[in-house]
Amino acid sequence: MNMDKHKLAEWLHDNYEKLAKAENWQTQEITRVKFEDLPAENKATMLALADRMLNTFLIISSNLLVMPSLPSVAMMDNCIEFAKWWRMWYSHPKVGTDVYGAYKVWSEGKLGNGA
């Protein structure tokens, strides 16, 4: 199945509303509609999120395709450490939501990577 940003945004919206309802979380009444009927600002935000996610997945999958073999245990440990670090520094102004930029900052040790 080919997931474009519109399909992903719709899926995210639908699942957010379903999960919110299951958790007794009251979402805004204007967002409790089908994706196509969302206010323009909400729809644009969901499309931007979907686009960002697809770009992130593209970066990750591209890196996996160029690997000559399966990642080593050490490489996987490094990826896990990076993921932990990124969660911690997600809101840092030098990192934000830019996965590539975050990796670059982390790998260069600019914010400390525990190495």
State pLDDT tens for residues 74-109: 666 666 666 665 555 555 555 555 556 666 665 666
Question: Does the global pTM surpass 0.85?
Answer: no
Which is more confidently placed, 68 or 38? Answer: 38
The DSSP symbol for 43 reads H
Span of 15-19, 36-40, 105-109 with lowest mean pLDDT? 105-109
Contact call for residues 14 and 35 (beta carbons, < 8 A): yes
CB atoms within 10 A of CB 35: 19
Q: What angle do CA 42, 7, 51 make, to 5 degrees?
A: 65
**In the predicted model, what is the mean pLDDT of the chain?**
75
Q: How far is CA 42 from CA 7, 25, 34, 86, in A?
A: 15, 18, 12, 26
In whole angstroms, give the CA distance from residue 41 to residue 7: 17
Distance, in Å, from the CA atom of 51 to the CA atom of 45, rounded to the nearest integer, reads 10
